[in-house]
């Protein structure tokens, strides 16, 4: 028989109590929590910069080498999957070694050439101050004597020491990251025991990897175009060390906005010091401006497409943010780090609004639902293939 007070209430027609539904966290409190987490994360990144900067560079280089290895595997028919990674490492070492030798060979002559421009620079300063109606124009030597030499020499020595330490730790981190690739696959299986969760994590990783590789590819191609065209223009006007200037321009292109300003302004300034008069410097300035406008406004958007989906204002803010936290390294990695943050934040409802602000079209949902390599408007995403597909289908071992 059915007994008890609840049964009696039901027989008497008393209304039954509805079970309590779990209340959702208020939006304001959730957003405030996310903001506090972002502030705490930025503070942590700032204070742990000596440790995290080499690690970030090593991860970036690991993604670059992995993409290069997969390109060699697909483009060269005789290269197997096992041989692609060692071949990519050897080619990257040769490339970096050649770059270091080029800088060591041409850097000393470039600095010597700049020192020889001091008398000419004094003349330019005098002409500028005379046009501004200043009575006592300063000279380069007087400006240098007015500086605290011991202070700036100490800063320079510390910068060299930090660069050497960062380079050493980056190489060490990179070696361990490459050596422990299979261990990370087993960790992924342990972190995401459910197949659906593991597949979502793999897809998110692939989106980050594809975005970084696409950004690196586009920046490299457009940087080469800007560097070659600038070298032709600088050689045509007769600027000294035009090849080294082209190399500096190629490196500067990897820094958003600031790199383009350097490429268009720095060579004309030194042309102003080298040549008599303003004609050649003005011509070089106009040509470099045209090169930057055509490549930056026509070629670059067509190559980049919607693969990054970053708002231009957010690119500027991310450049300022990462530069303030990690210096020059943060400036180089600002765009890839922002892409990674936007993809990760798009996975969670609580942080999706930050991804909306970072995105260019206000629709970061395409980052959450889109599979790697899929066009923006494709409805049915292609399945994951390759080694990562096996990882997504793996089942964790039973204890």
What confidence score (pLDDT) does residue 399 get?
A: 43
User: Mean pLDDT lowest for which of 28-37, 72-81, 98-107, 123-132?
Assistant: 123-132
Q: Which residue has the higher pLDDT, 74 or 395?
A: 74
What confidence score (pLDDT) does residue 13 get?
A: 52
Q: Give the separation between CA 62 and CA 48, rounded to whole angstroms.
A: 21
Q: Which residue has the higher pLDDT, 167 or 108?
A: 167
Percent of the chain with pLDDT over 70: 75
Mean pLDDT of 156-161: 71
| pLDDT at residue 381 is higher than 50 | no
Q: Give the separation between CA 31 and CA 13, rounded to whole angstroms.
A: 45
What confidence score (pLDDT) does residue 230 get?
A: 93
Percent of the chain with pLDDT over 90: 8
Q: What does the pLDDT look like over 214-273, one tens digit per residue?
A: 888 888 889 999 999 999 999 999 988 889 899 999 988 888 888 888 888 889 988 888
User: Mean pLDDT lowest for which of 15-29, 40-54, 323-337, 382-396?
Assistant: 382-396
What confidence score (pLDDT) does residue 387 get?
A: 55
Q: What does the pLDDT look like over 167-221, one tens digit per residue?
A: 888 889 988 888 887 777 677 777 777 778 777 777 778 778 887 888 888 888 8
Residue 67 binned pLDDT confidence (cut-offs 50, 70, 90): confident
What confidence score (pLDDT) does residue 69 get?
A: 87
Q: Which residue has the higher pLDDT, 324 or 131?
A: 324
Question: Could you tell me if 188 and 73 are in contact, meaning their C-beta atoms sit under 8 angstroms apart?
Answer: no
| pLDDT at residue 366 is higher than 70 | no
Total-model pTM: 0.72
What confidence score (pLDDT) does residue 1 get?
A: 47
User: Mean pLDDT lowest for which of 4-13, 235-244, 277-286?
Assistant: 4-13
What confidence score (pLDDT) does residue 226 get?
A: 93
Q: What does the pLDDT look like over 285-306, one tens digit per residue?
A: 999 999 989 988 888 877 765 5
Mean pLDDT of 133-156: 65
What confidence score (pLDDT) does residue 20 get?
A: 52
Mean pLDDT of 352-368: 73
What confidence score (pLDDT) does residue 369 get?
A: 47
Residue 368 binned pLDDT confidence (cut-offs 50, 70, 90): very low
Mean pLDDT of 106-125: 73
Average pLDDT, the chain: 77
What confidence score (pLDDT) does residue 287 get?
A: 94
What confidence score (pLDDT) does residue 393 get?
A: 55
What confidence score (pLDDT) does residue 254 get?
A: 87
Q: Give the separation between CA 170 and CA 291, rounded to whole angstroms.
A: 34
């Amino acid at each position: 028989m059915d007994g008890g007070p609840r049964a009696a209430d039901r027989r008497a027609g008393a209304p039954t109590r509805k079970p309590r539904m779990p209340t959702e966290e208020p939006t304001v409190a959730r957003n405030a929590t996310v903001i506090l987490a972002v502030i705490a994360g930025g503070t942590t990144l700032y204070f742990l910069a000596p440790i995290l900067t080499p690690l970030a560079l090593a991860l970036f280089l690991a993604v670059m080498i992995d993409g290069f290895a997969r390109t060699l595997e697909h483009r060269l028919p005789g290269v197997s999957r096992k041989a692609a990674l060692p071949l990519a490492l050897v080619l990257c070492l040769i490339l970096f070694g050649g770059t270091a030798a080029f800088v060591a060979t041409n850097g000393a002559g470039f600095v010597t050439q700049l020192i020889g421009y001091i008398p000419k620079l004094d003349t330019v300063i005098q002409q500028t101050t005379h046009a501004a109606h200043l009575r006592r124009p300063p000279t380069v030597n007087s400006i240098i004597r007015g500086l605290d030499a011991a202070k700036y020499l100490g800063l320079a020595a510390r910068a060299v020491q930090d660069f050497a330490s960062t380079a050493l730790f980056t190489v060490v981190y990179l070696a361990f990251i490459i050596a422990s690739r299979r261990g990370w696959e087993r960790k992924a299986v342990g972190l995401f025991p459910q197949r659906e969760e593991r597949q979502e994590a793999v897809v998110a990783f692939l989106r980050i990897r594809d975005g970084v590789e696409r950004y690196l590819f586009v920046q490299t191609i457009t940087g080469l175009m800007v560097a070659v065209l600038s070298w032709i223009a600088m050689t045509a006007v007769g600027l000294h060390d035009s090849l080294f200037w082209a190399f500096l321009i190629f490196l500067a292109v990897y820094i958003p906005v600031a790199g383009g300003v350097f490429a268009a302004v720095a060579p004309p300034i030194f042309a102003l010091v080298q040549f008599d008069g303003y004609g050649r410097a003005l011509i070089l300035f106009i040509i470099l401006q045209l090169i930057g406008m055509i490549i930056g406004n026509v070629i670059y958007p067509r190559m980049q497409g919607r693969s990054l989906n970053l708002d231009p204002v957010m690119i500027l803010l991310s450049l300022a943010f990462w530069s303030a936290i990690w210096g020059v390294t943060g400036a180089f990695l600002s765009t890839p780090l922002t892409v990674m943050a936007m993809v990760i934040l798009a996975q969670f409802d609580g942080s999706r609004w930050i991804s909306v602000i970072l995105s260019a079209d206000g629709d970061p949902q395409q980052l959450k639902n889109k599979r790697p390599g899929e066009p923006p408007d494709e409805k049915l995403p292609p399945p994951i293939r390759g080694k990562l597909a096996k990882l997504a289908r793996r089942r964790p071992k039973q204890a």
